[in-house]
Structure 1
Amino acid sequence: MRRELWFGFTLMALIVAGTGWMVLSVDTLTNGHYGLIMLALVVVAIMLGFPTAFTLMGMGIIFTFFAYHSGGQSAAGAVRQTLDLMVQRAFSVMSNDVLISIPLFVFMGYLVERANLIEKLFKSLHLSLARVPGSLAVATLFTCAVFATATGIVGAVVTLMGLLALPQMLKAGYDVRVSAGAITAGGCLGILIPPSVLLIVYGATAGVSVVQLYAGAFFPGLMLAGLYVLYVIVLARLRPHTMPPLTPEQRQVPLPAYAQQLARTWSQVAVPALLRALKGRRNATVPTRWMLQQLGVALLPALVFALVAAWTWHLDTRAAVQAAAPALGMQSLEDDSAASTETDGGLAEPPGAQDDADDGGLRPPPGSDEAADADRAVNQGEIAAPARPNPAGEASAARNPASTGWWVGFGVGVAAMVAFYAVLTWARLEVFKMLLGSFFPLMVLILAVLGSIVFGLATPTEAAGVGAFGGFLLAVAYRQFNWGVLKESVFLTAKTTAMVCWLFVGSAIFSAAFALLGGQELVEQWVMSLNLSKTEFLILSQVIIFILGWPLEWTEIIVIFMPIFIPLLDNFGVDPLFFGLLVALNLQTAFLSPPVAMSAFYLKGVAPPHVTLNQIFAGMLPFMGIQIVAIVLLYLFPDIGLWLPKVLYG
């Protein structure tokens, strides 16, 4: 028998033994104890392979009937109340508007996956990072992070990277365990990095804003990806035999014929060669249009830098304009106040009325002959021109000088631009063009979706609709869209969405039964009797979730156990948003921890035959340790996750 089966049966035996000890250790079983028995039976049934959603519904219905019937209700009345509760809980789940974003985000992910961008992105990244230790593994993690942000589908990312990156890493002499660990860990980043379906499910379960969860998960997701990359680079330095550097042949970038000709004639550095070729007369065989196109692509970073510098300069120096307007306003108010105190009472005369009275009548209307004569007299200096008010004040054109920080940043940026163009050879220009063709479209889609959510321009559902349309446009633009792609994407979206929705219905019925039996009160009493501090409670809860990640998937943990943990947070002063970020980091272990470890099975399904499941599990263990480090860092420095929500919504 396989080890994972022994592990599963041992864990189930411990659950049954613990439940039996609880039943035998009390003199009288209350309804709360029956609720805990129901919880243990659900976990064992799921581990045995029963469908999660229908197991939750079945157990919930049975124990709901028991709860009503044990309270003195007749059997017919208990049945009626049970059915009423089922309908009410199912309707409350289906009327949750936030859940509409799940099928839209999933549909976006499947369309982006079929746009075939991941192959181009991985190739361009591993060429651009060729001199970094462990470049293939680093490129794999970068690709997974970007693609996870655009899709959020763990299985798709792991499967595609297993087909694309694993053969190249094995061919380059990479250790099997390191290769498998990088692919499985990188693929699981979609659980945490928005647009994460997990965060939507947690928000709907815990009653936390999905918008704030997305904002809060942004920096922890980047932190975790950065820790993965740091670990790979350090390991490649300490043990170079596990990740040999790329050979010159593997770093070779094919150049167009025109680029080779300009490199031989003028320079290996792209921009000077293009400028000299455009100015000189020795480029008759190279079309001018082609050179202008290459120069435009090469100068894009300089254009972006110039726009960013101008925008930051405007923000840094506009304080004078904002400060001048209130001062001028106060001065005008003081003048008006002084003028009004000089009157004997009643309403003050409108501006200009006193001048008109002194002149002996109304001023001529604009455009009349009298007005033209008056203007000529003013221009010739015969009459002093009346003072015209300046609405913006004298300081409207004045700006503060740029701060020292801006000049330092500008200098660093200029130095970076100079260094960039000094090393921008024709080969690097080709890599840059590959990045533009693969990375830029994904970044536009990511910014359109996540930016509109985080900055409050759209709700998650609206942004998901935009993302689904953006995925459709990408598939069309890269000529990957056809009836088969649409049909398969719709089918997979419906399959995934149906699973999540049935899980929500089953969880709602199960939670109602657990509450009716008093299981939540019993758990709360037990936890409070331990006299735990806030730190001890968080450690206990995260350890429980970490252990549950071995036999259960994240969906089951969220819908079954979060309704038990959430009511306890107020007792310890824990922010549900912060708790959700800790849980999201922790629940990645559901995809990285044996024996369930779904990402390992995804990778095994596409890996070469000689790659064993034990090797994949061994490769995932160091990344599980990194996840624990990330959880500790987030707890010690909660502003990693809470700073952005506070700035945007606090």
Structure 2
Amino acid sequence: MIEWIPLIMFAAVCLALIAGYPVAFSLAGTAMLFAGVGIIAGWFDPSYLSALPARLFGTINNVTLMAVPLFILMGVLLERSRIAEELLDTMARLFGRMPGGLGISVILVGALLAASTGIVGATVVTMGLLSLPTMLRRGYAPSIATGTICATGTLGQIIPPSIALVLLGDTLSTAYQQAQLKMNVSNPETVSVGDLFMGALVPGLILVGLYLIYIIVIALRDPERVPPATNIGEVPTSRLIANLLPPVALIVTVLGSILIGAATPTEAAAVGALGAALLARMKGELPLRRLREVGESTLEVTCMVFMILIGAAVFSLVFRGYGGDELIQSLFEQLGGGVGVAVFVVMLAIFLLGFILDFIEITFVVVPIVGPILLAMGVDPVWLGIMIALNLQTSFLTPPFGFALFYLRGVAPDSVRTTDLYRGVAPFIVLQLLMLGMLALWPDLATALPDWVRSLR
């Protein structure tokens, strides 16, 4: 009975979250409840809790995690300054005269937004408010319009600079060090966020390409479902440059400085936030009232992330105190089949947990449990991080619990049925599973670029 307590703890947290309790307090509260009962019953060694202050201080004092509020600030500034709206209008004028042109525009703008905001909910809601009414008005099938927006919004999970990758990088780095200590490595290495950004670049671009190919195929086979726009004017070259160049230059500067090693993710995030503020100011979209709204929104999301992080640290400590690491490792060993079966089981579990948990909870609760075990089995940490990010991106689309579906349902008109959303995302789920399979078969898609860049340094 006692040896199964870690799994009972995990199930109790899932039940608390399904019941609607706040994530951070569900994690910490469940852990402290089990620790208290265990101390009274003699099952839990209270000396484990003495490590809690140092662990919390190390979490809050983590320089890498300082990039999180800065990337959030950058994304909120770009979202509130109407840059996305102008980008979408420009792209629609550029491609809108061809069948499927508006869908292509939504995918391209969504990819740029994903690279700037890094927040799935913000991208889905923004694209839903800006593009869904236009797509429906111009005769797009509701299923194609909603599916395109949902799928494009989830690109924020994988296209760098992604907040999900920042958090995954920090968690996997700790897990990698623990795995190396188990293997008696004298100088444990770390996993840098920059390596994850580089590893995600190629799969992210391939996924965008698959989305574009899907829309083009529909336009060729069934153009009535994605009709061209006939009442839009030409877009002047000057306007195209003015609307497209500044955000693209900002994204390239932020991401490029990380990839070439000129700046850490935290430094690049600070530059990105400053650049986004300058862009908003140049457009006259940053009055004092809006600046306050941006600050409050950034503070709210940042506090949520760090409170979940603290709760996850408490949960992880108690979980290990009950021998959860050894339990999970023994379960993997009993499965048989080696590394491949272990990775498949973990990916399936993360996919299913993505229905009820956000990526932050999975990153801070699930990854620290399974990460050290998989990495000790020889799994590449960069490849594992990209697989997890792609997996979560797929689970956020999958009915009936996909988070992206909830976000879009909240802003979609009543004329759009929920079944339209489900039908619309189905082809994109297939494309994402295809990308996941390609990455499983060819790990070099994620590892070749980081390895090549490291060889140049």
Q: TM-score, normalised by structure 2?
A: 0.92
The answer for the alignment partner of 2:108 in structure 1 is 142
Bigger mean CA offset, 195-204 vs 612-621: 612-621
The answer for the alignment partner of 2:92 in structure 1 is 126
Deviation per residue, 1:222-280 (Å, 9 max, x gap): 11111111111112222222112322x23x33xxxxxxxxxxxxxxxxxxxxxxxxxxx
Please show how residues 210-289 of structure 1 align to structure 2 within 5 Å. Answer: 210-247=193-230, 249-250=231-232, 252-253=233-234
Give yes or no for contact 1:127–1:431 (8 Å, CA) kept in 2. no
Verify: 1:500 aligned to 2:305, yes or no: yes
- Tell me by how many angstroms 1:65 deviates: 3.1
Verify: 1:199 aligned to 2:199, yes or no: no
Could you say which structure has the larger radius of gyration?
A: 1
The answer for the alignment partner of 2:261 in structure 1 is 456
Deviation per residue, 1:398-448 (Å, 9 max, x gap): xxxxxxxxxxxxxxxxxxxxxxxxxxxxxxxx4432221111001111121
Query: Which residues of structure 1 form unaligned runs of 5+?
Result: 1-28, 254-429
- Tell me by how many angstroms 1:82 deviates: 6.4
- Tell me by how many angstroms 1:637 deviates: 1.7
Verify: 1:491 aligned to 2:310, yes or no: no
- Tell me by how many angstroms 1:52 deviates: 1.0
Verify: 1:37 aligned to 2:8, yes or no: yes
Q: TM-score, normalised by structure 1?
A: 0.65
Give yes or no for contact 2:342–2:374 (8 Å, CA) kept in 1. no
Verify: 1:512 aligned to 2:323, yes or no: no
Deviation per residue, 1:146-171 (Å, 9 max, x gap): 12112212222222221221111111
- Tell me by how many angstroms 1:478 deviates: 0.6
Report percent identity of matched pairs: 39
The answer for the alignment partner of 1:185 in structure 2 is 151
The answer for the alignment partner of 1:320 in structure 2 is none
- Tell me by how many angstroms 1:537 deviates: 2.2
Verify: 1:470 aligned to 2:453, yes or no: no
Question: What amino acid is the match of 1:116?
Answer: R
Aligned residue for 2:396, secondary structure, equals helix
Aligned residue for 2:337, secondary structure, equals coil
Distance 1:570 1:185 in 2: 30
The answer for the alignment partner of 2:370 in structure 1 is 565
Verify: 1:100 aligned to 2:104, yes or no: no
Paired residue for 1:53, among 12, 18, 24?
Answer: 24
- Tell me by how many angstroms 1:584 deviates: 0.5
Question: What amino acid is the match of 1:559?
Answer: F
Verify: 1:547 aligned to 2:352, yes or no: yes
- Tell me by how many angstroms 1:452 deviates: 0.8
- Tell me by how many angstroms 1:572 deviates: 2.9
Aligned residue for 2:58, secondary structure, equals helix
Question: What amino acid is the match of 1:157?
Answer: T
The answer for the alignment partner of 2:141 in structure 1 is 175
Aligned residue for 1:588, secondary structure, equals helix
Distance 2:87 2:375 in 1: 45
Aligned residue for 1:480, secondary structure, equals coil
Question: What amino acid is the match of 2:249?
Answer: V
Question: What amino acid is the match of 1:599?
Answer: A
- Tell me by how many angstroms 1:188 deviates: 1.1
- Tell me by how many angstroms 1:536 deviates: 2.2
Deviation per residue, 1:122-152 (Å, 9 max, x gap): 1221222235431111110000001211221
Give yes or no for contact 1:67–1:516 (8 Å, CA) kept in 2. no
Question: RMSD of the TM alignment (CA)?
Answer: 1.8
- Tell me by how many angstroms 1:36 deviates: 1.0
Distance 1:42 1:153 in 2: 24
Aligned residue for 2:297, secondary structure, equals helix
Question: What amino acid is the match of 1:204?
Answer: D
The answer for the alignment partner of 1:445 in structure 2 is 250
Distance 2:83 2:376 in 1: 48
The answer for the alignment partner of 2:187 in structure 1 is none
Deviation per residue, 1:558-578 (Å, 9 max, x gap): 111111211221343211111
Aligned residue for 2:285, secondary structure, equals coil
Deviation per residue, 1:594-620 (Å, 9 max, x gap): 333222222222222211233223212
Aligned residue for 1:100, secondary structure, equals helix
The answer for the alignment partner of 2:185 in structure 1 is none
Give yes or no for contact 2:335–2:342 (8 Å, CA) kept in 1. no
Verify: 1:593 aligned to 2:408, yes or no: no
Paired residue for 1:165, among 102, 106, 131?
Answer: 131
Question: What amino acid is the match of 1:467?
Answer: G
Please show how residues 297-376 of structure 1 align to structure 2 within 5 Å. Answer: none
Question: What amino acid is the match of 1:221?
Answer: G
Verify: 1:522 aligned to 2:318, yes or no: no
Distance 2:376 2:85 in 1: 49
Distance 1:593 1:238 in 2: 26
Paired residue for 1:626, among 415, 431, 435?
Answer: 431
Distance 2:430 2:236 in 1: 34
Aligned residue for 1:245, secondary structure, equals coil
Distance 2:57 2:124 in 1: 35
Deviation per residue, 1:179-219 (Å, 9 max, x gap): 00111111111111111111111111111211111111111
Distance 1:511 1:148 in 2: 30
